[in-house]
């Protein structure tokens, strides 16, 4: 059995990734802030191990998460840096605390966790998949901190892929557009939209005519972790219905 750590596993894309990896034969340490949701995810699934953590707490918290995960696993084949937050504001209206927290969760935590996992991944010639965003490839309005953090994550992916390819460690980024998740619903409520209205409006903005499903992102993560993707590293793959085209 292979082993994985997935952050942001309590809902949305992370929830789908945990289930997909477990179904693919992984033992998954699912991390997130919401302990109750993690326990619900792991209910009846001995291959999913919940581990609550607040990655915004910084370097020591990230390293502690990896240490705790490795006490439950007999090795590490995959790290999925999925935890992320979104602040809707342009640069002029972004508070300093929101900027710092966005960077802490979306970029700093991915760096600290990846660094802590490298010794374990060298042993298995494993992989890292970073969940970035299509707004890490192109800008979006009223999302200055989010775009900066996801753009940084894309280039962190590429830099680390170059540095560690000779060690057999593959590092890629997945860049979703709008996905049917609680984060999307939360933003829809701010705009006075219901869930279905949000799916219709955001879907209409996509060439494909719909938003992405979390399970579709999870399937791409599983592929990038598989032996069939052995020659894929340093990429940032959009999964956005054609928006970045």
Distance of CA 61 to the CA centre of its chain: 17
| Spatial distance between the Cα atoms of 172 and 80, rounded to a whole number of angstroms | 10
The H or E element containing residue 41 is helix 35-42
Indicate which residue of 26, 146, 202, 223 is catalytic: 146
Pairing relationship of beta strands 170-176 and 78-81 according to DSSP bridges: unpaired
Do residues 117 and 171 touch, judged by C-beta distance below 8 A? no
Listed as own residue / partner, the contacts of 113-118 with beta carbons closer than 8 Å and 24 or more positions apart are 113/5, 113/7, 113/55, 113/62, 113/65, 113/66, 113/79, 113/81, 114/79, 114/81, 114/156, 114/160, 114/171, 116/62, 116/63, 116/66, 116/67, 117/5, 117/66, 117/76, 117/79, 118/164, 118/169
| Spatial distance between the Cα atoms of 189 and 194, rounded to a whole number of angstroms | 7
Our answer to whether residue 146 is catalytic in this structure is yes
The residues that are catalytic are 146
């Amino acid at each position: 059995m292979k082993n994985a750590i997935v952050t942001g596993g309590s809902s949305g894309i992370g929830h789908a990734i945990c289930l997909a990896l477990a179904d693919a034969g992984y033992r998954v340490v699912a991390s997130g802030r919401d302990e109750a949701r993690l326990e619900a995810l792991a209910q009846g699934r001995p291959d999913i191990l919940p581990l609550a953590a607040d990655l915004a707490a910084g370097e020591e918290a990230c390293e502690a998460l990896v240490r705790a995960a490795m006490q439950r696993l007999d090795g590490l084949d995959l790290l999925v840096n999925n935890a992320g937050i979104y602040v809707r504001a342009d640069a002029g209206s972004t508070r300093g605390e929101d900027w710092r927290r966005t960077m802490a969760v979306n970029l700093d935590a991915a760096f600290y966790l990846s660094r802590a996992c490298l010794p374990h991944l060298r042993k298995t010639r494993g992989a890292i998949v970073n969940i970035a965003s299509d707004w890490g490839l192109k800008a979006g309005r009223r999302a200055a901190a989010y775009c900066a953090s996801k753009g940084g994550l894309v280039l962190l992916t590429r830099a680390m892929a170059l540095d560690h390819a000779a060690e057999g460690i593959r590092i890629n980024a997945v860049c979703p557009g709008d996905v049917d998740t609680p984060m999307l619903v939360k933003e829809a409520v701010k705009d006075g939209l219901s869930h279905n209205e949000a799916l219709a409006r955001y879907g209409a903005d996509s060439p494909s005519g719909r938003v992405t499903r979390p399970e579709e992102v999870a399937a791409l993560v599983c592929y990038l972790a598989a032996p069939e993707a052995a020659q894929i590293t340093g990429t940032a793959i959009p999964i956005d219905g054609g928006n970045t085209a």
